[in-house]
Structure formats: structure tokens, C-alpha cells
Chains A and B, each alone.
Chain A
């Protein structure tokens, strides 16, 4: 093999390595997780029982890796004002008492509580006791994890992936 042929091969190999290094640099970090979120505020005057429903489209359920339903209040509880949040489906979570310093977070496993082929609906009841006004905030977030590789490029939710919160009367 002549010196020129060897040299050309080395040059070609160097270009391949350069190209690979550039691609590795560009692909070194995965796209951020994609989230769809929805928030609703529910105003109650205790004693009062209110319901709310979290409705996720089928596309959202199929594409989401994680779901969280966070129920919180800034109203000071205690002194006779108490409130509990009760999921309709016990697989979503247990009955939990609202406190003014920490949110209740339900993290349902969507493949267990949203089986079927239709949109998924999760119902909740807020039961407030006492004689006072109470504002409750519901934050729903669905997360789809970013792909760790550019080979399977789209880790985001599609347009049909939606989540809504409906508050009962």
C-alpha cells in the first residue's frame, strides 16, 4: 500500500470521527420532559361537598409516563374548618386531609386506572366541614419523559393529548 493511499484512508477516518463527534455533541443532552398541565380553583363555603373530575384524552393517557394531581389550599385550616379529598377510585389514592402547609399529591398509575380505549376520567370529592370559606387549587400535570436518544426523536405530547379539570356544582 502506498503512502498516499494510507494518507487518504487516515484523512477519511478522521472525517468520520469528526462527523461522529459533532453528532455526539449535538445529541449529548436529551430533550426536556414535555408536560401538559391544567389548573382549577374551587371555592367552597363549609359545610359543603364539591366534586371535581380530571379528564384526560386517550392520546394523553397513552403518551404520558407520569401523572400527578395536586390538591392544595392557602386557606388556614383548623379551628373547626377541616376538609378531606376523596378519590372515587381507591386505586388513585387514599382519602387525605387538606392542610394549609402541604399539598395532597395523587400519582395514579395511568395504565391501571385508565384502561380501555376512551378518554380517562378520574373523579374526586372535597368534603369541607366547619363554617368558613375555603379555596382549593387543583393542579394536574402529565409528563412525558424526553428521549435519551435522537434516534427516536419525538418525546413530546401530540396535539390530541389534553387534560381538563371540571368542577361540579
Chain B
């Protein structure tokens, strides 16, 4: 990994990102079920908007050994926001999300079960108020800016 791309990869190790990933994990698999409500409902949305955009950005930096351009980063953040809005506002987009994520989960569920399991769409509650969490997309942008390569 080159020094230039390392700074982008380092964004994944930023304390805010690590905390958001932990919150996302714990809240999705425990918090929402144990304490259903507004806070746990929105917590994962905020955490995912901080962590998710960094996945392809860091992966690209690792595998292509170069940091993506700021244009690419901005476009990706906007696309993430657009997808988030679409799945909460459009039934068709929500259906694509339910089936798409179900397809991605299928190999993991099959491996874990040790046998072929039925392909099942995932559960999604469409909630337009989730769009209030979209400003969280600024956080990964700020983190990437703070760790940017300084020539």
C-alpha cells in the first residue's frame, strides 16, 4: 500500500469510524430488539452513513494502491444518500433493496447452516424520517479530509 493511499485507508481506523462501526453492530443485533424506539431506530442509520461510504473508498485505495479523487468521493457520498432516500420513499427501490440484500445474505446463511437455505428478501421498514439522518454523510467527508495526503 503506497503512502498516498495509506492515508485514505487510515480513515477506517479513525476513532469516530471505529465507534460508529461498533454502534452499528451492537445496535442492529441487540439494541433494536432490546430497546425498540426512535433512538435505536435512527442510531444504525447514522452509524451506517458514517461507515458504509468508506468501504468502497478504502477498498479502492487498498486494491488500486491510490486514493480516489475528490470528485469520485463526492459522487459516491451523493449516491449513498440517494439510495438511502430512495429505499425509504419508493416501494420499487425498497423491493430492490430487500431482494438485493437477501441475495447477498444467501451465501452466508447457506454457509452458516451447512445446507442450501431458501433465498429470502430482507426486512425493511420504509420510514421517510430516516432522511433526517442524511447529514451524517458529512462525517466521512470530514474524516477523509482530515486524513488526506498532504503533498
Contacts and interface: CB of A to CB of B under 8 A. Distances in A.
The size class of the interface chain A forms with chain B is: 20 to 34
Given A17-B13, A28-B101, 15 more contacts: A14-B58, A15-B62, A18-B58, A21-B12, A21-B51, A23-B108, A24-B51, A28-B48, A29-B101, A30-B122, A30-B123, A31-B105, A32-B102, A153-B108, A154-B117
Interface of A: 7, 10-11, 13-15, 17-18, 20-34, 146, 148-156
Interface residues of B, number: 41
Interface stretch (B18-26, B67-75, B131-139): B18-26
Contacts of A25: 48, 51-52, 55
B105 A17 contact: no
Contacts of A18: 12, 55, 58-59, 62
B121 A24 contact: no
Contacts of A10: 6, 9-10, 13
B64 interface: no
A153 B117 contact: yes
Contacts of A24: 21, 24-25, 28, 51
B92 interface: no
A14 B117 contact: no
Given A32-B122, A32-B123, A149-B29, A22 B108 contact: no
Contacts of A149: 29
Contact of A27 (B12, B32, B108, B113): B108
From A7, A23, A24, residue with most partner B Cβ within 10 Å: A24
Nearest to B11: A14
A32 B9 CA distance: 34
Given A10-B13, A15-B62, A154-B117, A31 B109 contact: yes
Nearest to B119: A31
Sort A-B residue pairs by CB-CB distance and give the 8 closest, nearest first. A153-B109, A29-B122, A153-B112, A31-B120, A17-B12, A14-B9, A14-B12, A32-B123
A20 B32 CA distance: 19
A32 B121 contact: yes
A27 B107 CA distance: 12
Interface string B33-65: 100000000001000100110110011001000
B82 interface: no
Nearest to B24: A24
